[in-house]
Amino acid sequence: MEKGIQMVVFDWAGTTVDYGSSAPAEVFARIFRSEGIHFTRNEINGPMGMEKKAHIRALLSLETGSKQWEEIHGTKWTEEDVERLYEKFEEELFRVVAEYSTPIPGVVETVNELRRQGIKIGSTTGYNAQMMKQVLPKALQEGYQADCVVTPDVTGMGRPTPFMLFECMRQLKVYPANRVVKVGDTVVDMQEGKNAGACSIGILTGSNLLGLTQEEYEAMEPEELKRRKMETKKKYLEAGADMVIDSITELPAAIAKLNQRM
């Protein structure tokens, strides 16, 4: 058994591509608006990273979601409603997701550096396999590719369960789990890593949890941005993160620290 970290498992939107995880957030907002229901960006971002049907259930289960649904439809939401909303979500996201597949600044260089160190690159996501068929070629054109990509429909269970991460370990023949680092931008990313027995690292810049577009990030006053990053770091740590880094470019140095501890 080789010593040190052998594999990094990245999340997709908000971690390696799609700054701020804008595609799913926008599509969730659209499909609920079509039902006359309005959620804030923070409410939509709360369950981000989960399998998308589970995300819809989580939004409908919010007090604001349940109340709006009953006011508009005169009854409580059902699993049939979840299925119908998911079909709308899937259709709309499938149409636009490739447009949101540009790697976040620093991703390509960081992944190349990790590969030079002999580290394998896995990926888990809340998107299904059909959606990823749209995403992967576009990301590859921009210079980013993982060694394996696992979706919830492959394992039958999404985050925060560890089974997608375990499937990455199986495909890339890496074990035990303490040789793996999960890197993501949501609470359930951190939980996925910890539930697998891996190390979890949260990223601030470009993350869904920080909840800013690139334009908002660049225009924000430094003190306000610092405050928001501190709040986001706290959420990561409360979710079990072992480390929180500002940018994905800091990941090689973070892994070096983990290797020293090991």
Distant-in-sequence, close-in-space partners of 110: CB < 8 Å, separation ≥ 6:
248, 249, 251, 252
Q: How far is it, in rounded angstroms, from Cα 83 to Cα 87? A: 6
**Catalytic entry in 18, 52, 189, 242:** 52
Q: Distances in Å between the alpha carbon of 23 and those of 14, 91, 121?
A: 10, 13, 23
pLDDT per residue as tens digits for the range 147-164: 999 999 999 999 999 999
User: For residue 245, what are the β-bridge partners?
Assistant: 203
- Residues 177, 150, 104, 188, CA torsion sign: negative
Gyration radius (Cα) of the chain, Å: 18
- The pLDDT value given to residue 73: 94
The b/e string for 36-54 (b: 16+ C-beta within 10 A; e otherwise) is: ebebebebbbbbbbbbbbb
Confidence of residue 195 (pLDDT cuts 50, 70, 90): very high
Q: What DSSP designation does 202 have?
A: E
- Percent of the chain scored above 70 by pLDDT? 99
- The pLDDT value given to residue 138: 92
* pLDDT higher than threshold 90 for residue 2: no
Q: Is 11 a catalytic residue?
A: yes
Domain range summary for the chain, segments of one domain joined by +: 7-21+100-261, 23-99
| CATH fold for the domain made of 23-99 | DNA polymerase; domain 1 (1.10.150)
193: tokens are 């890593």
Helices and strands in the chain, H and E counts: 13, 6
- The pLDDT value given to residue 99: 87
Cα 34–chain centre separation = 25
CB atoms within 10 A of CB 65: 20
234: tokens are 């706290």
- The pLDDT value given to residue 19: 93
Q: Does the domain spanning 7-21+100-261 belong to CATH 3.40.50.1000? A: yes
- Determine the average pLDDT of the residues in 73-87: 96
Please determine whether the domains at 7-21+100-261 and 23-99 fall in the same fold group of CATH. Answer: no
Yes or no: say if 48 and 21 are a contact pair by the CB < 8 Å rule: yes
- Determine the average pLDDT of the residues in 224-247: 97
Q: Is 52 a catalytic residue?
A: yes
Nearest to 89 by CA among 125, 136, 43, 128: 128
Distant-in-sequence, close-in-space partners of 122: CB < 8 Å, separation ≥ 6:
7, 8, 9, 10, 146, 147, 148, 149, 150, 165, 168, 169, 171, 172
- The pLDDT value given to residue 154: 94
**Catalytic entry in 11, 18, 185, 242:** 11
Yes or no: say if 9 and 180 are a contact pair by the CB < 8 Å rule: yes
